[in-house]
A and B are shown apart, each in its own frame.
Chain A
Amino acid sequence: MTAPAIAGGVDFDLEAAWGLNAQVALRDEEFGALAYHYGTRRLVFLKSRLLVDLVRALDDHDSAAAALVSLVEPSEFHRYAAALATLVPSEIIHER
């Protein structure tokens, strides 16, 4: 499967290496997690446990696509790629 097919039109570079911003802390909750950015002082909600696992796994993989493949069912790739993309403007995750 090629990266563009995984991306499915989401504006997010799946081939790049991503990671959790060092200024962000995650607090696990039943619904997912709260992400707090100490720099911008903004609180962001990660609305599923799998998304939290995925965000935490980004640092251990050479690309976002590899992290997705390791954790997410193929039918859900697009949804989770889109969810990752929403965490870019709030600087929760960034390109390494």
Chain B
Amino acid sequence: MSVKPVPSLKDRFSLGLQAPICLTWELTYACNLSCVHCLSSSGRRDPDELSTAEAKAVIDEMAAMQIFYVNIGGGEPLLRPDFFELVDHAVASGVGVKFSTNGSRLTPERAERLAATDYVDVQISIDGADAVTNDAVRGEGSFDTAIGAMENLAAAGFGEFKISVVMTRHNIPQLDQFQAIADRFGAQLRLTRLRPSGRGADTWHELHPTAEQQRELYQWLLARPNTLTGDSFFHLSALGDPLEGLNLCGAGRVVCLIDPVGDVYACPFVIHDEFKAGNVRDDGGFSRVWLDSEVFAALREPQSAGACTSCGSYDACQGGCMAAKFFTGLPLDGPDPECVLGHADEALAAVKVPVLLRPTTTVDHSARRPVSLSRR
């Protein structure tokens, strides 16, 4: 019997799947905060957001496609009056829910309701281990609010929730403090990468970690393989041993995003026309977008390594994050702007496009007030 070479799982994933493994669904653009790095430039609800009936139909489709869980975000999902109705519908359909919240609407009553629901995971976002660091990014009072929500979950006996942190230049020195907060609540720490997407396009240059901090983060993660990262730091794998996870860009291959008005994008970090694959309201619904869209078909073609071809670390980092390149004005087939070997430094400095003309999100629901990074 001849033995055929078995393609690696990574190779098979890059060709696409019957349904996404990691589906993010931003339920609303409404948000009471205006974080300076918001990926979805949220603030105001869009009048065209999916109705309760439409949202339930999307959940039915997820169940039929055997999408085992959905990552719900926003905006602030708890601002949707039908939030619990949708969660109950999803759970009853066999679609587990993991949702992200700033905690401001996570009252003791709601914490108890969540604790009583199977297959619901909660992630509470903080971006600093103290109020000063956190509130500079997420707004005045948001740290205390988030800690209050954690206390509500703990008091309700929710069990192990998650604390989600976007790593920045200002909070990488606080890694151990974040772990201490998580330990205090019996929670799991989830660290993700800052992307220059949404309002993050305006703040990334001053908030993204330094090269030295990236090495510090890599060592910290290597030593704590149980830390959740959503596979977000695979660009760091070029520093040595690979981090836990698939270590590939899953955009349009294993990952995608449904936004509040039903538009489907390749990943949560590229809310931009160039990566829009269709809308769940189109004929054939979400599954047809996932299986047949031209945008996703192109992403499932073998990708060129471009300027990274000659780099010995390409297998480890795969050239990094598509969204990070796109929104910093770098070519998609070259190094990540945070390439740990410094291969993007020159290109980044040479980007001639003025900041204001670089691609930014084509969808902006920011509150109509100036958003600025507070002085620290």
Q: Which of A27, A31, A75 contacts B66 (CB 8 A)?
A: A27
B68–A31 touching, CB < 8 Å: no
The answer to whether the Cβ of B239 comes within 8 Å of any Cβ in the partner chain is no
Name which residue of chain A comes closest to B7, CB basis: A31
A25–B94 touching, CB < 8 Å: yes
A36–B68 touching, CB < 8 Å: yes
Query: Using Cβ atoms and an 8 Å threshold, which residues of chain A touch B12?
Result: 30-31
Q: Mark B83-110, 1 if CB is under 8 A from A, else 0.
A: 0000000000010100000000000000
Q: Mark B25-68, 1 if CB is under 8 A from A, else 0.
A: 00000000000000000000000000000000000000000101
**A15-39 CB contacts (< 8 Å) to partner B:** 25, 27-31, 34, 36, 38
Alpha-carbon gap, A38 to B119, bound state (A): 7
Given A41-B69, A41-B121, A43-B68, check contact A73 B1 (CB 8 Å): yes
Alpha-carbon gap, A63 to B9, bound state (A): 30
Name which residue of chain A comes closest to B18, CB basis: A29
**B1-24 CB contacts (< 8 Å) to partner A:** 1, 6-7, 9, 12, 15, 17-19, 21
**Interface size class of chain A, counting residues whose CB lies under 8 Å from the partner chain:** 10 to 19
Query: Using Cβ atoms and an 8 Å threshold, which residues of chain A touch B121?
Result: 41
Name which residue of chain B comes closest to A34, CB basis: B21
B18–A28 touching, CB < 8 Å: yes
Query: Using Cβ atoms and an 8 Å threshold, which residues of chain A touch B119?
Result: 38, 41
Query: Using Cβ atoms and an 8 Å threshold, which residues of chain A touch B1?
Result: 73, 75
Alpha-carbon gap, A41 to B15, bound state (A): 25
B96–A27 touching, CB < 8 Å: no
The answer to whether the Cβ of A47 comes within 8 Å of any Cβ in the partner chain is yes
The answer to whether the Cβ of A77 comes within 8 Å of any Cβ in the partner chain is no
B9–A27 touching, CB < 8 Å: no
Q: Mark A60-96, 1 if CB is under 8 A from B, else 0.
A: 0000000000000101000000000000000000000
Alpha-carbon gap, A43 to B15, bound state (A): 19
A29–B17 touching, CB < 8 Å: yes
Query: Using Cβ atoms and an 8 Å threshold, which residues of chain A touch B68?
Result: 25, 27, 34, 36, 38, 43
A25–B66 touching, CB < 8 Å: yes
Alpha-carbon gap, A69 to B119, bound state (A): 37
CB distance from B153 to the nearest CB of A (A): 17
CB distance from A21 to the nearest CB of B (A): 14
CB distance from A12 to the nearest CB of B (A): 22
Alpha-carbon gap, A25 to B62, bound state (A): 14
Alpha-carbon gap, A43 to B69, bound state (A): 10
CB distance from A42 to the nearest CB of B (A): 10
Alpha-carbon gap, A76 to B40, bound state (A): 50
Name which residue of chain A comes closest to B65, CB basis: A27
Alpha-carbon gap, A31 to B21, bound state (A): 14
Alpha-carbon gap, A25 to B68, bound state (A): 8
Alpha-carbon gap, A36 to B119, bound state (A): 12
CB distance from A58 to the nearest CB of B (A): 20
CB distance from B36 to the nearest CB of A (A): 32
Leading 9 A-B pairs by shortest Cβ distance:
A36-B68, A27-B66, A31-B12, A29-B17, A29-B18, A45-B9, A25-B68, A25-B66, A47-B9
Name 8 A/B residue pairs within 8 A (Cβ), A-sorted.
A27-B18, A27-B19, A30-B18, A31-B7, A38-B94, A38-B96, A41-B69, A41-B119
Other A-B pairs, 4, CB within 8 Å; known A43-B68, A47-B6? A25-B68, A30-B15, A31-B7, A75-B1
